Amino acid sequence: MFRCGLAYPRCRWVMPLLLLFAIIFDIIAIAAQSGWIQDRDNTHYSSMWKDCRWLGEESDCSSLMDERWAQTVAALMIVGLLILVIAFIIWFLSCFLVFNTDQTCSPVPSALLQFIGLIIYPVNFNYRIFEGEYEYTWAYGFGWGATIICLGCSLIFCCITSCINKINGDEKIEYFITH
């Protein structure tokens, strides 16, 4: 017998798995010490936390946490990460362990906060630095990766509410083709 349709029970793994990847990407972006932006000569780099210049054998580092815009970026990224962790825990508990409910937590606020933080950082960094050519590093890319995954999870969250009963197994699955 051949059946063609969506395997809804497998869909219940998609959202928690994507949220877990977003959490991992956020942790990498927030904890990266190598910088979010660096110049092409590798003599100057700036992470979310500090700004460093290489002076021969030594480096001169200063904290960015003295500036309001850097505090705002750090707060937005950390609060976004906390919302992601809460969303992951609620999705995991509601889908697998404790209870079956239609109440879930959307990662939309996290995506918005991180999006704003990732825009504020380069704009204010460009106001501080006028010389040289700078490139965004992999750590900044992981921040954008987490934000894009959150946006994708938000779309899934909006679409998944119409078929939550099929995913939970409360409704019979309709097949497109049966032979």
CA distance to 10, 87, 97, 165, per residue, from 94 (Å): 15, 10, 7, 13
Q: What is the pLDDT of residues 134-173, one digit of tens each?
A: 899 999 999 999 999 999 888 877 766 666 666 666 666 6
Q: What is the pLDDT of residues 10-36, one digit of tens each?
A: 666 777 888 899 999 999 999 998 888
Residue 113 confidence (pLDDT): 94
Q: Is the pLDDT confidence value at 51 over 60?
A: yes
pLDDT confidence of 1, banded at 50, 70, 90? very low
The mean pLDDT of the chain is: 82
Q: What is the pLDDT of residue 21?
A: 95
Q: How do the domains of the chain map onto residue ranges? A: 13-34+68-178
Closest CA to 139 of 35, 3, 4, 9: 35
Higher pLDDT, 64 or 34: 64
Two tokens, residue 128? 């501080």
Q: pLDDT exceeding 70 applies to what percent of the chain?
A: 75
- Can you tell me the distance from the alpha carbon of 18 to that of 173, in angstroms, rounded to the nearest whole number? 24
